[in-house]
Chain A
Amino acid sequence: GENVEQHPSTLSVQEGDSAVIKCTYSDSASNYFPWYKQELGKRPQLIIDIRSNVGEKKDQRIAVTLNKTAKHFSLHITETQPEDSAVYFCAGLQGAQKLVFGQGTRLTINP
């Protein structure tokens, strides 16, 4: 089955700098990769997703890149702001039925 590894587990950046979180997956048949943001005490919220037929997707300060050959995908946040502080989860879709989540990255934006 699918296995998703996420790094780093914690990340601290200065406000205004960029943050990058990386995930690798094992199942070459996986074709959908969402990213979730979970603020303290809140539900995980989808922030961006990408399907395997594209290599990059951007939404304002957030972008996701996918390398199918290497089986890894990354979340890029530019011009970070204090409200970006949260736990971020990547995921890969196993067999069109079940998302497999990474271990999570706790991102802290320092003012």
Chain B
Amino acid sequence: EADIYQTPRYLVIGTGKKITLECSQTMGHDKMYWYQQDPGMELHLIHYSYGVNSTEKGDLSSESTVSRIRTEHFPLTLESARPSHTSQYLCASRDNGPQHFGDGTRLSIL
């Protein structure tokens, strides 16, 4: 089924660890996005990509990085996790139509 998939759904990890959040979509969308969202609060855009080898920083300053080597895959990496990174991370994709979101990764840094 065409969808957007995020793994893991939940992650609890210690300070200083390197973390990669996975996002894959099977809809062939060129544009992909990462948002940070505390539960029920605003969606903050942290990274986006308009296609392979294209990445841009979003409106919210983030210590994370992204890569876009394949159309379907847009992973987000935190080199050294801190408690301030505790949040939910939502991945999304679109072409020229509606934007679709993944189920998110709920990240807790101890």
Contact = CB atoms under 8 A, between A and B. Distances in A.
A97 interface: yes
Given A34-B99, A99-B99, A89 B43 contact: yes
Given A40-B40, A106-B40, A98 B101 contact: no
Nearest to B31: A97
A64 B10 CA distance: 35
Secondary structure call for the B interface: loop
B102 A97 contact: no
Nearest to B44: A101
Interface residues of B, number: 20
B90 A97 contact: no
A103 B90 contact: no
Contacts of A104: 40-43
B41 A43 contact: no
A104 B99 CA distance: 17
Nearest to B50: A97
Of A41, A46, A98, chain B has the most CB atoms within 10 Å of the CB of A98
Interface of B: 31, 33, 39-43, 45, 48, 50, 90, 94, 96, 98-104
